[in-house]
Amino acid sequence: MKVIVKKLQGGECILEVLPTTHIFEIKRQVEEKLHIPVEEQKLLFLGRTLVDEQTIQAYPTIKDGTKLNLVVKKPEGLHEASVKHFKKMGMTDGEALCAANRLIKIVQDKFNRLSWDDIDRLSLDCLLDETGQPRAPIDADGDCDDMYSL
C-alpha cells in the first residue's frame, strides 16, 4: 500500500509500505527521500504520534493513500548534545554541565581567533560536507595540519 508523508513546513513523499513495515523503517525511507535525519522526525496520524517499534498494522485506520504528518524536531544544540554525551560517559549531572560549559567556552574562544578567511573556508567545507561533494585539495605550501586550529 502507499502512504503519503507530508511535511508540515512543505514537501511530501509517497512511500510503498507493507502492513508489517515498522514506523522506524518509514522514517528511514523519509530520511532517504526528504533528507531529514530519523532522530529529527516525528510522524503523526490524526494528531497522535506513531511509535517507532509499532508496525503499520498496529494502526488499523491507516489505509492505502493515508497521509501521515511529519513534524521536524529542532536538532539539539552543542550544549545539550555535549551534556547528554558527558552523562553517557558516566559523569554526574553537575559534572556533565560543567564539562559542557567548558567545551562551549573553548569552542567560542577558538572560533573568535579564526580569521575571516578561515571562517569562509570552514563554512564552505561544512556546505560541501552536507551535500556530499568532495573538498578541493589543500595547498601544498600550507604547513599547518589543522587548518582551523581547533
Per-residue pLDDT of the chain (150 residues; tens, 9 = 90+): 999 999 988 889 999 999 999 999 999 999 999 989 998 999 999 999 999 999 999 999 999 999 999 999 887 889 989 999 999 999 999 999 999 999 999 999 999 999 999 999 888 988 888 777 777 666 555 555 555 555
pLDDT of residue 72: 92
Question: 23 in a domain, yes or no?
Answer: yes
Q: Residue 91 is part of which domain span?
A: 78-131
Is there a single domain that holds both residue 65 and residue 16? yes
Q: Which helix (H) or strand (E) holds 7?
A: strand 2-7
Question: 141 in a domain, yes or no?
Answer: no
Is there a single domain that holds both residue 121 and residue 67? no
Q: Which long-range contacts (CB under 8 A, 24 or more apart) does 47-52 make?
A: 50/23, 50/26, 51/23, 52/22, 52/23, 52/24, 52/27
Is there a single domain that holds both residue 88 and residue 52? no
Is there a single domain that holds both residue 51 and residue 104? no
pLDDT of residue 145: 54
Which residue among 47, 72, 97 closes a domain? 72
Instruction: Please state the pTM of the whole predicted model.
Output: 0.56
pLDDT of residue 142: 53
Question: 149 in a domain, yes or no?
Answer: no
Any idea what DSSP says for residue 20?
T
